[in-house]
């Protein structure tokens, strides 16, 4: 039982603790260090996604250069460390601020970002298999990836069903509410499909490999059709209601996520089919990867051009920093892996160059967003509660971590 004297003692210690951190320029915008865990929202895991895709995309680039794999491995390790830190922070958030944590699911904006943790987990798992094997060995890397894939896929399928259910039955959704975040809960099965393809050769036995292949194609379909519906709604909202608040503009880039990831998935699954299905069927699936991938890649270029134009237009006026800026990373990274897949499948020199250029843009975006995130985290801005929705404009509450630009 906490006595009055205990509370007074704790209150007296807080300024001292804050003072020690302030001398180092840390958490100066918070009242006390414990406030860090008061508003840990699921969209924080987008930082793991954006960091992990930098590593994963590097591992598969058609043109490798000295030092790239070592750098990518370091970035993968950083993504893993951030993932562990966020899992611990989320656990403390639920222990200390349970009512706030429960409220995330009822928030019509934040609820969609429950798709981020599963994608973060499977991305780090894939990085372990592709890059971490050089550090921990192939056997351990495969085991870790299996655990990460099973955990992330389970959570991803749950999010893909539960979040739309909440949206349909409990959330108050206005006509102008559609935004890129609506894709977050339905994209995880696509990420599981592409990362699961990497594990098919390590499945024990022919039936296990066949089951894994079919399950990944099923998840490809789940995400593909759901994403097509949501992208249509986003296009309709933009046409009917305009761009909306500047702070939500970065989420337009999330549309590239299911596009690039689906190209990657269909290519990797076609490759995996060679060891699972008879030659005619496997050959058709590899060909399907190109027949599907090239048109979708074309639409991804169109959307990237539109999103870039809107982002530049908004930035000229004012684009405040928030965790939504991580939308500039993972979706672009999936387009890099998708372009790489098409380059390898077709032998196109143009696509090889496009993959390299896309990766350079991804690294630049990651460096900018990571630096801004580190700075805002050190100050404490990103741990403050979300701003309430504005009285005017689309009915979108500001994501947690809104930081003045």
* pLDDT 10s digits, 248-257: 999 999 999 9
Give tens-digit pLDDT for 259-273: 999 999 999 999 999
Question: What is the predicted pLDDT for the residue at 385?
Answer: 83
List the single range of 29-38, 117-126, 317-326 with lowest mean pLDDT: 29-38
Question: What is the predicted pLDDT for the residue at 391?
Answer: 31
396: confidence class by pLDDT, cuts 50, 70, 90 = very low
**Helical H segments across 242-255, by residue range:** none
Mean pLDDT (whole number) for 367-378 = 96
Rounded-to-integer distance, Cα 346 and Cα 365, Å:
28
Quick count: other Cβ atoms within 10 Å of Cβ 378? 16
Higher-confidence position of 311 and 26 = 311
Rounded-to-integer distance, Cα 212 and Cα 189, Å:
13
Give tens-digit pLDDT for 164-201: 999 999 999 999 999 999 999 999 999 999 999 999 99
14: confidence class by pLDDT, cuts 50, 70, 90 = very low
Instruction: Please give the class, per CATH, of domain 36-383.
Output: mainly alpha
Give the whole-number percent of the chain exceeding pLDDT 70. Answer: 89
Paired with 403 in beta bridges are 321
Task: Find out whether 199 and 216 touch, Cβ atoms under 8 Å.
Answer: no
Averaged confidence pLDDT in the chain? 91
In DSSP notation, 53-122 reads HHHHHHHH-SS--TTHHHHHHHHHHHHHHHHHHHHHHHHHHHHH-HHHHHHHHHSTTGGGGGGHHHHHHH
Maximal CA-CA distance, the chain: 78
Mean pLDDT (whole number) for 324-334 = 98
34: confidence class by pLDDT, cuts 50, 70, 90 = confident
What ranges do the domains of the chain cover? 36-383
Q: Where do we find the tokens 């590899």?
A: 286
Question: What is the predicted pLDDT for the residue at 19?
Answer: 61
Handedness of CA 266, 268, 271, 277 (dihedral sign): negative
Rounded-to-integer distance, Cα 399 and Cα 183, Å:
15
Mean pLDDT (whole number) for 338-351 = 97
Question: What is the predicted pLDDT for the residue at 393?
Answer: 33
Rounded-to-integer distance, Cα 160 and Cα 155, Å:
9
387: confidence class by pLDDT, cuts 50, 70, 90 = low
Give the whole-number percent of the chain exceeding pLDDT 90. Answer: 85
Q: Write b or e for each residue in 7-31: b if 16 or more Cβ atoms lie within 10 A of its Cβ, otherwise e.
A: eeeeeeeeeeebeebeeeeebeebe
Give tens-digit pLDDT for 40-80: 999 999 999 999 999 999 999 999 999 999 999 999 999 99
Question: What is the predicted pLDDT for the residue at 262?
Answer: 98
């Amino acid at each position: 039982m906490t006595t009055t004297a205990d509370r007074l003692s704790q209150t007296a210690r807080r300024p001292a603790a804050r003072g020690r951190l302030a001398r180092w320029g840390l958490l100066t915008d918070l009242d006390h260090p414990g406030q860090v865990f008061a508003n840990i929202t699921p969209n924080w895991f987008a930082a793991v996604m954006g960091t992990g895709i930098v590593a994963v995309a590097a591992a598969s680039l058609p043109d490798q250069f000295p030092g790239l794999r070592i750098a990518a491995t370091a970035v993968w390790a950083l993504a893993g460390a951030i993932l562990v830190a966020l899992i611990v922070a989320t656990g403390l958030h639920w222990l200390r601020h349970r009512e706030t944590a429960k409220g995330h699911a009822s928030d019509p904006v934040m609820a969609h970002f429950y798709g981020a943790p599963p994608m973060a987990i499977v991305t780090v798992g894939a990085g372990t298999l592709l890059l971490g094997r050089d550090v921990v060995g192939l056997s351990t890397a495969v085991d870790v990836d299996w655990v990460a894939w099973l955990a992330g896929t389970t959570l991803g399928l749950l999010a893909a069903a539960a979040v739309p259910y909440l949206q349909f039955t409990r959330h108050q959704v206005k006509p102008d509410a559609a935004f890129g975040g609506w894709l977050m809960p339905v994209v995880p099965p696509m990420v599981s499909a592409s990362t699961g393809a990497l594990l098919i050769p390590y499945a024990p036995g022919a039936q296990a490999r066949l089951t894994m292949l079919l399950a990944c194609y099923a998840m490809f379909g789940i995400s593909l059709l759901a994403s097509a519906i949501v992208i249509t709604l986003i296009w309709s909202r933009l046409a009917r209601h305009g761009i909306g608040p500047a702070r939500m503009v970065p989420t337009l880039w999330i549309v590239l996520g299911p596009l690039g990831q689906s190209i990657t998935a269909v290519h990797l699954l076609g490759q995996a089919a060679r060891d699972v299905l008879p030659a005619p069927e496997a050959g058709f699936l590899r060909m399907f990867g190109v027949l599907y991938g090239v048109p979708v890649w074309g639409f991804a270029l169109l959307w990237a051009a539109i999103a870039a134009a809107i982002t530049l237009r908004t930035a000229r006026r004012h684009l405040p920093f928030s965790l939504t800026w991580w939308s500039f990373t993972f979706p672009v990274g999936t387009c890099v892996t998708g372009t790489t897949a098409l380059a390898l499948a077709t032998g196109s020199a143009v696509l090889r160059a496009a993959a390299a250029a896309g990766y350079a843009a991804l690294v630049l975006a990651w460096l900018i967003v990571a630096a801004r995130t580190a700075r805002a985290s050190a100050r404490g801005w990103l741990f403050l509660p979300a701003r309430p929705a504005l009285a005017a404009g689309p009915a979108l509450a500001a994501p947690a971590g809104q930081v003045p630009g």
